[in-house]
A = this chain, B = another copy of it.
Amino acid sequence: MSRPSSQAQEANPDALPKQHRTYSIGELARMFEVTPRTIRFYEQEGLLAPTRQGQKRIYREKDRVRLKLTLRGKRLGFSLAEIREVVEMYDAMPDGNARQLKRLLEILADKRANLERQLEDIRLMKLEIDDVDQRAREVLRQLGDDA
C-alpha cells in the first residue's frame, strides 16, 4: 500500500477535479461496457479524436461525453454515419458559415421528428405488449392458479 505521490487514478474516480481527468481506452471500455475495438472503430469513423501520448490514446472528458452520446444515439437506432454528421457540424459550428448552420438546423429538425415518431412507436408498442401480457396471464390463470 505504498502510494506517496504516484499517479494511480482509477481507484477513486471522484477524487479529482474530474474536468481534467484523462482516461485510457480500457477504462472507457469498461465504463461503457464496450470493447476497446469498438472505441478504436469509432475513432476511425471520425466520431472520436483522442490525443496521443507516445502511441497511446489519451481520452479527455470531451471524448468521454462524445462516446456517451454516440452510444445513446446507437441505442436509438441511429447509424454511426448519422451521428457523425451531427458531431462534425457541431465541431465546425464556431466558424461555420451560414449555409452549414442552416443545414445543421435542418438535420436537427429531422432528428427531432424522428424522435417524435419513436415516441409514438413506443407508445403503441407498449399498448400491444400490455395486451399480449394480459392474454398470457389469463391463459396462465386457467392452467392453474400457481402463477
Kindly supply a per-residue 1/0 record for chain A positions 114-125, scoring 1 wherever the CB is within 8 Å of any chain B CB and 0 otherwise.
Answer: 010111011011
Instruction: Please tell me which stretch of A30-38, A47-55, A72-80 contacts chain B, meaning at least 4 of its Cβ atoms lie within 8 angstroms of it.
Output: A72-80
**Contact residues in B for A90 (Cβ distance below 8 Å):** 132
Also in contact, A125 and B115, with CB within 8 A (given A77-B75, A98-B140, A140-B98) = yes
**Contact residues in B for A122 (Cβ distance below 8 Å):** 76, 115, 118-119
Chain B CB within 8 A of A4 CB:
no
A interface majority secondary structure: helix
Contact B76 A125 (CB under 8 A): yes
Contact B121 A72 (CB under 8 A): yes
Which among B121, B137, B143 is the interface contact of A76 at CB below 8 angstroms?
Answer: B121
Chain B CB within 8 A of A112 CB:
yes
Instruction: Please tell me which stretch of A12-20, A56-64, A101-109 contacts chain B, meaning at least 4 of its Cβ atoms lie within 8 angstroms of it.
Output: A101-109
Smallest Cβ distance from A32 to chain B, in angstroms? 14
Chain B CB within 8 A of A136 CB:
yes
Kindly supply a per-residue 1/0 record for chain A positions 123-134, scoring 1 wherever the CB is within 8 Å of any chain B CB and 0 otherwise.
Answer: 011101100110
Contact B94 A125 (CB under 8 A): no
Could you jot down 21 A-B contacts, CB within 8 Å?
A69-B128, A72-B124, A72-B125, A73-B125, A75-B77, A75-B118, A75-B121, A76-B121, A76-B125, A77-B77, A93-B139, A97-B143, A98-B143, A101-B136, A102-B147, A105-B137, A111-B125, A112-B129, A115-B122, A115-B125, A119-B122
